[in-house]
């Protein structure tokens, strides 16, 4: 399975249109608060913590947060005394980010309108670090996105970004697992009777899945998934980006459907096993962070 291949049920709506909605702006402003387990899992909080830890080790002189959303990660970067700016393609997100910056006594002009797929508003070879938190996998072509981001880095500069984990589909025990295994076993090469028999193995899980909370795929937003085992060979190496590390986040202590039945227990137990470098993250974490450098 190639890295650029999306889920079988890939959407068609560009992400900036979805995230420009008032409800999305409000939701993403809340996601970076202190961890709570009574409403939503603090996955974005964990992702930001990992990236801040990496930044503290790198100590870049300047950095840009691509697809900065409502600007809460940018606020924390600035609070940690990094010289950071951000941009987003959704005008309402930019507007909210300016408000959040101002509330925290930072200049609102540190956020501008811009497109992470083609950030032509930024000067080439000008940044020591670029972060992309929940942004790059919404692009039409991840290779093109990373290549355009690379142009903005100085030689030796760092690119840190998150991706959705393709291998997580193996343990969701729902239609994502069916889709993944259908590709893995090349089930379409068999006759209809074998295909139907194979699908019936997952029918119970698919019925349960109908009761789940909506995720980004349910809204029809273009969003790609990637395999952490092949990310370097298939994407980074051709772009002459050297892998420095892979870090997992948003662990699931049980298959996702259990969050509907025991929400608080599910989230608390999942939080207990959060470990960016645990090998189980290849399968139990729905997201991972890639840290690479421009050679």
Domains along the sequence of the chain with CATH: 15-168+216-294 (3.40.50.150), 175-211 (no CATH)
pTM of the model: 0.86
Residues 58/62/66/71 CA torsion (nearest 10 deg) = 100
| pLDDT at residue number 7 | 42
DSSP three-state, residue 250: strand
Instruction: Report phi then psi at 229, rounded to 5.
Output: -75, -20
- Summarised one tens digit per residue, pLDDT across range 75-88 is 999 999 999 999 99
In which residue are the tokens 């298959």 written? Answer: 255
Pairing status of strand 84-88 against strand 153-165: unpaired
Each residue's pLDDT tens digit in the chain (295 positions)? 444 344 434 556 666 555 566 666 666 666 666 677 778 899 999 999 999 999 999 999 999 999 999 999 999 999 999 999 999 999 999 999 999 999 999 999 999 999 999 999 999 999 999 999 989 999 989 999 999 999 999 999 999 999 999 999 999 988 888 889 999 999 999 999 999 888 887 765 555 455 456 665 666 667 888 999 999 999 999 999 999 999 999 999 999 989 988 999 999 999 999 999 999 999 999 999 999 999 8
Cβ(108)–Cβ(101) under 8 Å? yes
Contact 261, 294 (CB under 8 A): no
Q: Which residues of 62-84 are buried (b: 16+ CB within 10 A; e: fewer)?
A: ebbbbbbbbbbbbbbbbeeebeb
Q: pLDDT tens for residues 182-237?
A: 999 999 999 999 998 888 877 655 554 554 566 656 666 678 889 999 999 999 99
């Amino acid at each position: 399975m190639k890295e650029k291949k999306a889920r079988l049920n890939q959407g068609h709506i560009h992400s900036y249109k979805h995230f420009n909605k008032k409800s999305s702006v409000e939701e993403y402003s809340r996601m970076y608060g202190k961890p709570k387990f009574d409403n939503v899992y603090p996955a974005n909080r964990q992702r930001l913590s990992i990236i801040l830890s990496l930044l503290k080790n790198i100590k870049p002189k300047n950095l840009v947060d691509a697809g900065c959303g409502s600007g809460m990660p940018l606020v924390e970067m600035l609070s940690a005394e990094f010289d950071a700016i951000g941009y987003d393609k959704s005008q309402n997100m930019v507007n909210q980010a300016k408000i959040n910056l101002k509330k925290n006594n930072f200049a609102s002009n540190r956020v501008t309108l811009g497109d992470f797929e083609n950030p032509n508003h930024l000067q080439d070879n000008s940044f020591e670090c670029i972060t992309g938190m929940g942004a790059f996998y919404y692009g039409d072509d991840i290779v093109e996105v990373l290549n355009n981001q690379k142009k903005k880095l100085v030689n030796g500069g760092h690119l840190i970004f998150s991706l959705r984990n393709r291998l997580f589909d193996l343990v969701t025990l729902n239609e994502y697992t069916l889709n993944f295994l259908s590709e893995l076993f090349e089930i379409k090469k068999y006759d209809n009777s074998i295909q139907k028999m194979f699908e019936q193995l997952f029918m119970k899980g698919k019925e349960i899945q109908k009761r789940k909370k909506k995720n980004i795929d349910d809204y029809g937003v273009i969003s790609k998934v990637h395999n952490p085992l092949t990310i370097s060979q298939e994407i980074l190496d051709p772009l002459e980006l050297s892998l420095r590390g892979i870090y997992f986040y948003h662990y699931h202590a049980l298959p996702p459907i259990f969050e509907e039945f025991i929400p608080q227990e599910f989230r608390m137990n999942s939080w207990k096993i959060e470990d960016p470098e645990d090998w189980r993250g290849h399968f139990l974490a729905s997201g991972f962070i890639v840290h690479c450098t421009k050679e």
